[in-house]
Structure 1
């Protein structure tokens, strides 16, 4: 596979009319969107969407939780950060709403084995339905963001001419791409007739390579590199080499392993099952908050980590929950990372041994 030499010195857009490209990175636990307005003769600039409803820090984050909340009739009631607001969580509990997370894993190919159990979908929802609901929400947020950042006139000028890019794990195949394309149609992003021309796909490995190039990370010719994309549900590994002509080629088959960051945390929360915080929904929430916030505070095994997920009234000392936060000993948190680290190291060793070009360290 040959990749274009997409150097930091991008060329001006050579199209004849203005268009918009929107890229969606829908992850197991978090998702983000970026876009570029292409004007004829101008060098395109990629911009992230950094403002979503209910974000604690508006403009400070380019991602939201990959969650969708439905009422009993199956209607979407909240998505992303909106579903994690304390007032909404209380309403959801009172009215019996169902929060769906990790839905992306339901689309994976059967060949991709995961080392952990993950929540089932509601009986009245398919993976395609949830994926399309989430995609529709991201598109509406992007539309609103572009209108505020660039003006309604700019949006109106590009609305008839939008291309969409969907990133997916390395291990996903044509069948998964077909489902994602169908989700874009159901979400109203494109018509079925236009979907083949306007919906495009990129593996997360290729996207990571281009990110490295744009950030001017030194890449030597004839020396292979391995890119490890350690996500929430899966870990993707890709190996490339820059040729004498300046393009990039894959030097070993890409890998996708089911040892993402949520796996060990979920397994370790088994102790909550006998407490009033042991429901599937509570465990998902705690795992997601740990992944987004608490894990970044971990430094050494001697220090405890606190996962704040509830209110002051939420407590169960038998499982170290007080004032709405779960206390985790540092030595336990340390074990969360161990399975993923071991799996990644083993996968890197295998990539190096199988590569057709020498890969440096």
Structure 2
């Protein structure tokens, strides 16, 4: 495993790495109001704005119980999946419909608000948990190096927008030196570093084999191939790929399926009577599609293992039944082979000699 020399600079520094994902985000430090999302140091990538465009709730705070009434009564607007609005134009046509940005907000505005929140959380944590935390933060605040991750294939244009968001968020000043403190790494490279430090690539590298990294995220599936050229040097052995077919789109496929004419599990008589209708349209469950989709997202999608077994979406009570729809005891039965699998091609163009 390659080793890294300890930092030997003339003064103390801090590196904060932000991973702003489509559905969840993380940073080096923990977050307030995180109890409801587990202890894995990530929060939902969600922001709520009021009617004046002011941030009212972010991350796990946006999922607190009792917040729904305030959201409805005060007309708050939800921003989610906003990272995908940064995507290259060439990939826009391959992306499913994504939620629009809040009114009068650009993607840089929303991204900046979220970075500001993450930065504030890190600052608060350091100040409250380290000895002399306030003095410690004051001594390093102007020298923090920021690392932002992004999907494979995002290049200068996307990095420029993310850097502008970091400036707008107050992470760095809008100067040459300030901009130089914002660094970028692809999600494939970040995954490779994690694998190396965890020893997951050791055996493969010993025998001169390459390593294929598949990062199946919320918005994108990133595929990267690497080979080791020396003890501490790695090189891509295939062009990195990025597919907009992540977890959120699997759920979208499920929603479409529930609303579509995919009725192959029904008998011929039912097919004839329901041919022009969506799966649940016209039934007493037609208004439950959103709830059923959410149940799929939280449970069924996570349990799927193979296409030879049926899958079930538990959404109701024992009284909910409609055998023509495959619903029994509050469960909707799905054949395994109509589950929402995505096939992506992998091309390796040139290997290291």
Same-fold status (TM-score > 0.5): yes
State the TM bucket, normalised to the shorter chain: 0.7 to 0.9
Specify whether residues 31 and 126 from structure 1 end up closer, same or farther in structure 2 by C-alpha distance, changes over 3 A only. Answer: same
**Match for residue 158 of structure 1?**
140
Match of 2:236 in 1: 250
CA contact (8 A) 1:298 1:330 kept: no
Shift of 1:225: 1.4
Q: Which residue of 1 aligns with 2:339?
A: 335
The 3-state SS of whatever aligns with 1:220 is helix
CA deviation after TM superposition for structure 1 residue 286, in Å: 5.8
CA distance in structure 1 between the partners assigned to 2:125 and 2:326 by the alignment: 41
Deviation at 1:317, TM superposition (A): 8.3
For residues 331 and 108 of structure 2, the distance between their equivalents in structure 1, rounded to whole angstroms, comes to 37
Q: Tell me the TM-score normalized by structure 2.
A: 0.79
Instruction: Say whether 1:130 aligns with 2:136.
Output: no
Q: Flag the 1:71–1:286 CA change in 2: closer, same or farther, 3 A.
A: farther
Look up the match of 1:146.
126
The RMSD of aligned alpha carbons is 3.2
Match of 1:268? 254
Question: Are 2:225 and 1:239 equivalent residues in the alignment?
Answer: yes
Residues 112-131 of structure 1 correspond to what in structure 2 (within 5 A)? 112=91, 113-131=93-111
Runs of 5+ consecutive residues of structure 2 not aligned to the other structure:
260-279
Aligned residues: 315
Alpha-carbon separation, structure 2, partners of 1:66 and 1:18 = 31
Q: Does the alignment pair 1:220 with 2:205? A: yes
The residue aligned with 2:277 is none
Between the aligned partners of 1:64 and 1:11, the Cα distance in structure 2 is 32
Q: Could you state the TM-score of these two structures normalised by the residue count of structure 1?
A: 0.77
| Superimposed CA distance per residue, residues 257-278 of structure 1 (whole angstroms, 9 cap, x where no aligned partner) | 1111111211321447975566
Q: Is the 8 A contact 2:115 2:169 kept in 1?
A: yes
User: CA, structure 1 residues 334+166, in 2 after alignment: closer, same or farther (shift >3 Å)?
Assistant: farther
Question: Is 2:221–2:246's contact at 8 Å kept on the other side of the alignment?
Answer: yes
Structure of greater Rg: 2
- Tell me the distance in 2 between the aligned counterparts of 1:259 and 1:125: 26
Change (3 A) 1:81 1:171: same
CA distance in 1, matches of 2:34, 2:231: 47
SS at match of 1:111: helix
Pairwise CA distance, 1:57: 5.9
Contact 1:79–1:134 at 8 Å: present in 2 too? yes
Q: Secondary structure at the residue paired with 2:147? A: strand
Q: Which of 1, 5, 15 is the aligned partner of 2:9?
A: 15
Gaps (5+ residues) in structure 1? Answer: 1-5, 35-48
Shift in CA distance, 293/170, structure 1 to aligned 2, threshold 3 Å:
same
Q: What is the CA distance between 1:74 and its match in structure 2?
A: 1.1
Q: After the TM superposition, which residues 36-115 of structure 1 pair with which residues of structure 2 at under 5 Å, given as runs?
A: 49-56=29-36, 60-112=39-91, 113-115=93-95
How far off is 1:192 after superposition? 0.4
Q: Deviation digits for residues 274-327 of structure 1, max 9, x if unmatched?
A: 75566xxx68x965x86566643456744524479xxx9xx9989999xxxx95
8 Å CA contact retained: 2:23, 2:219: yes
* Pairing of 1:280-295 with structure 2 (within 5 A): 291=297, 295=301
Q: Which moved more, 1:173-182 or 1:82-91?
A: 82-91
Corresponding residue for residue 38 of structure 1: none
* SS state at 2:7 partner: coil
**Greater relative contact order: 1 or 2 (C-alpha under 8 angstroms, separation 6 or more)?**
1
> Is 1:204 matched up with 2:187?
yes
